[in-house]
Structure 1
Amino acid sequence: MRRRLLALLCVTGSLVSACGVLPGGHQRHTVTVWLMKDSASKDFLRRFTEDFERTHQDLRLDIRIQNWTGIVAKVRAALKDDAKDAPDVIEVGNTQVSQYVDDGQLADLTLESMRDWGKEHWLRGLAEPGKDGNKQYGVPWYAANRVVIYRKDLFAQAGITTPPQTRDEWLADTRKLDSGGNQGIYLAGQDWYTLSGFIWDEGGELAVQKDYQWRGALDTPAALRGMDFYRRLQALGEGPVDADEEHPPQAGVFAGGKVAQIIAVPGLAQSVVQQNPGLKDKLGFFPVPGKSAARPGTVFTGGSDLVVPQNTDDQFAATAVIGALTGAKWDTELARTMNYVPNKTTLAGAVAGEEGVAAMAVGAAHGRATPNTPQWAAVEADNPIKGYMTEVLGGADPATEARRASHTITEALATDLG
């Protein structure tokens, strides 16, 4: 917390004023909060700030919006002991937390998480990346994950009256849809986030840690089963085997009118309708099916955690901000406002009224994140999983290619990031 004397001129580019004095001459202390661009609307932040400052009359919020581009270097600089005008609370991507934990410059929030914040109900895909051993450094804020976006009219034409609830049903329905000039599903060959969910469903992992060393694990029987399911599903459409879902953007392909399903975050439906207004009211959503109807498929969970730098002047005030932002009142309000999944499984009902977000919340309850090591960034820098997928979908031996990719992952996880 950056205490500012009343005599100083308070100048800030934040959304709210960072200066204030309580009645009777007592100074309000300022809590500087870094949030990422587009994570929350200006109206949400205004309402939150007014409520927080009304209920914490000794504190002022200075909310500063950051861009994702270059944020890792900027956060690392802010975490240094001699950082000037550093933040007290920082929003970080859930899979980024381990990079800052590895630097040893985040405050341990384990006690507050257990005592005050209900960590037993947190989404696994947000909570696990925020941990290091038994210590909690990142506090889940909001989540988003993939669902199946489908054409209700094409399903009806194929005689499919309800969305599939199991993988077997999904394959059978997609075969019916893959006819008459329509693609049953458009699934790019290098959509490794979707593959990850299928691998996790089979009990496999992208990488495992043993004796303090991380190793690639695509060559295990479970991981190979996940890849085999991906291969069978991907074959029921015309997705390119040598490209990911952004090349070309799958929203544009879906908008072309000849695709029955894609796997994406629900918000992509807006782009589809913008490109093809004729699809308005024809799009539906369902969770990625699992192996049985009792459990939806596992999905990769994206989203954000909130952290507190060790170099804050007042950790108590910083945790007050986190407690308010991630508490039931404002976390559900954020989810409703921005079409996110709330941070707890117990809050999923807050978004039940919106079909796409409700489907996303079902999947988020079984969400996962990438391996919890800062070196995973080195894997994604030149992602061998994509190349592995292309080779298998092109007809190469899966076991051979999986061993090769796993070896490359192991080497990347041994990289010293400095």
Structure 2
Amino acid sequence: MRRKLIAAVGAAALVAGATACGTEGGSAGDGGKKTLTVWVMDGSAPEPWSKELNKAFEAEHKGVEVEMKVQQWNGIQERITTALSEDSPPDVLELGNTQTAGYAVTGGLADLTPMKGELGYDQWNEGMLSSAELDGKLFAAPWYAANRAVIYDKSVYEEAGVKPPETREEWLAGLEKIGEKTDKQPLYLPGQSWYVFAGFLWDEGGNLAVEKGGDTWEGALASDEAAAAMDFYKELQSHSTAPKDADEATPQQSTDVVPKGDVASWIGLGWEAGGAVAAIEEAGDEADFGYFPIPGKTADQPGHVFFGGSNLSVSERSPNKELAQEWLQMATSEEWMTKYAEATEGGLLPNSPAAQVDPAEGSFAEAMVASAEVGRITPVTPGWANVETDPNPIKTYMTKVLEGTDPKQAGKEADEVITERINGS
């Protein structure tokens, strides 16, 4: 997940003094000491948590030093692929949750299946767990996740007499009212925000692609469920002046659109909310945002959301595999995940609901946590990364439907591309 999440939710600074990339691996040092090398991504590990964790691990493992190396998301897949193919790869690696299956299928990750009980497998968030497994085997431990929520301007909602909704119907009615009673854009929603669409699709019981057996997958956007999800997306998008042929990053909604002041609400991640607040304050104004979960079809459950996040894995070729597994076990335990949630001020979801801390009332984190039990990820298969390659067929599908193409026809065209790509043809 290419996001500086910790900074966005006001957590502590990143791991200090760590070097950038490098593919040297685990055993090193003088006097018989061993160095355990851990790669973490920029924005994932708050410094106080990392220092305390590594100090505790080193105290239990005399002669071992943990060296964390911070990596940048840009170009990380190539660097990890190279590192895993070498004789001395990093011992432990943070992997994006949609990337893990791709590395597992190459044989580069250690099989952690025998450690399920020790790792607390049964206590993990089900929405995060799926990304850590492939073909019935466990290749990672979920670490953290984050999801989107609705961010709204409190003053505009108050002016229109609108309260945060609990259902889709209330949401649409509120947007209509804002359009009638204020001069603001009720909702900024670009036509290609496909992570948002995915949540609506899961609400309808559909999926982006389905497994047909024999390691074969096919696209599933020509379905009735996808058509229903796009119908709702289209209703929402009718309250927006955002382009139908662009996503939330073109232009970046949090820093290039929202700070201009004519947006009543939008859908984003915590780091985006933080970025908007910073941009507004830099311009000399004051942001007064409220947050609510993306509403579901009924009030008893919020809408499904995409979980962006990371897992922790052990390299198959790690020269310190047993130590690496022990470090991973400690780092992802309920004790240390609770500390992690505290260090991120509740702004990231830990791998276990039991480790979740109560977020501040009225915070983005509070709205995000409310959707945690209905978080999901994209289909877990090594070929999924090919689907997201530009031009992303899901984005193309969405634009076509918004511009008037029949959803079933647009879905059929998208499914042909998805099926070819996901199966690696």
For normalisation by structure 1, the TM-score amounts to 0.89
- Structure 2 gaps of 5+ residues are 1-17
368-377 vs 116-125, which moves further: 116-125
Shift in CA distance, 279/214, structure 1 to aligned 2, threshold 3 Å: farther
Amino acid at match of 1:404: E
Equivalence for 1:69: 74
Hey, what's the Cα distance between the residues in 1 that align with 2:77 and 2:203?
Answer: 31
281-290 vs 183-192, which moves further: 281-290
Hey, what's the Cα distance between the residues in 1 that align with 2:354 and 2:307?
Answer: 17
Pick the aligned partner of 1:357 from 339, 359, 365.
365
CA deviation profile, 1:6-45 (whole Å, cap 9, x unmatched): xxxxxx9489x99778xxx8x4432111111221233432
Hey, what's the Cα distance between the residues in 2 that align with 1:369 and 1:203?
Answer: 14
Pick the aligned partner of 2:410 from 401, 409, 414.
401
Alignment check: 8 A CA contact 1:332 1:350 kept: no
CA deviation profile, 1:174-194 (whole Å, cap 9, x unmatched): 111123321110000000110
Hey, what's the Cα distance between the residues in 1 that align with 2:276 and 2:227?
Answer: 33
96-105 vs 53-62, which moves further: 53-62
Hey, what's the Cα distance between the residues in 2 that align with 1:362 and 1:280?
Answer: 26
Could you say what secondary structure the match of 1:35 adopts?
strand
Shift in CA distance, 273/84, structure 1 to aligned 2, threshold 3 Å: same
Sequence identity (%):
39
CA deviation profile, 1:358-410 (whole Å, cap 9, x unmatched): 21122222111111112111111120111111111112211111111111111
Pick the aligned partner of 2:381 from 351, 373, 379.
373
Hey, what's the Cα distance between the residues in 2 that align with 1:45 and 1:348?
Answer: 18
Hey, what's the Cα distance between the residues in 1 that align with 2:145 and 2:362?
Answer: 15
Amino acid at match of 2:84: L
Alignment check: 8 A CA contact 2:120 2:333 kept: no
Alignment check: 8 A CA contact 1:130 1:138 kept: yes
1:276 aligns with 2:263: no
Equivalence for 1:289: 295
Matches within 5 A, 1:191-210: 191-210=193-212
Equivalence for 2:269: 265
Equivalence for 1:38: 43
CA deviation profile, 1:27-84 (whole Å, cap 9, x unmatched): 443211111122123343223222221233353212122222222222222222xx24
Equivalence for 1:319: 325
Pick the aligned partner of 1:138 from 137, 140, 159.
140
Equivalence for 2:98: 95
Could you say what secondary structure the match of 1:288 adopts?
coil
Alignment check: 8 A CA contact 1:14 1:62 kept: no
Hey, what's the Cα distance between the residues in 1 that align with 2:392 and 2:125?
Answer: 26
For normalisation by structure 2, the TM-score amounts to 0.87
Alignment check: 8 A CA contact 2:142 2:312 kept: yes
Amino acid at match of 1:127: L
Could you say what secondary structure the match of 1:267 adopts?
helix
Aligned residues: 396
CA deviation profile, 1:201-225 (whole Å, cap 9, x unmatched): 1000000011221100011111211
Pick the aligned partner of 2:192 from 190, 207, 221.
190
Hey, what's the Cα distance between the residues in 2 that align with 1:330 and 1:307?
Answer: 17
Give the root-mean-square deviation of aligned CA atoms: 2.2
CA deviation profile, 1:118-162 (whole Å, cap 9, x unmatched): 22332333211111122111211111111111111111111124x
Alignment check: 8 A CA contact 1:266 1:285 kept: no
Equivalence for 1:168: 169
Matches within 5 A, 1:211-222: 211-212=213-214, 213-222=216-225
Hey, what's the Cα distance between the residues in 1 that align with 2:367 and 2:267?
Answer: 12
Alignment check: 8 A CA contact 2:304 2:371 kept: yes
Alignment check: 8 A CA contact 1:335 1:351 kept: no
Amino acid at match of 2:293: P
- 1:88: how far off? 1.1
Greater radius of gyration (CA): 1
Alignment check: 8 A CA contact 1:93 1:304 kept: yes
Alignment check: 8 A CA contact 2:88 2:317 kept: no
Alignment check: 8 A CA contact 1:147 1:287 kept: yes
Could you say what secondary structure the match of 1:183 adopts?
coil
CA deviation profile, 1:308-360 (whole Å, cap 9, x unmatched): 11112333211111112112232233333333111112223343557111211
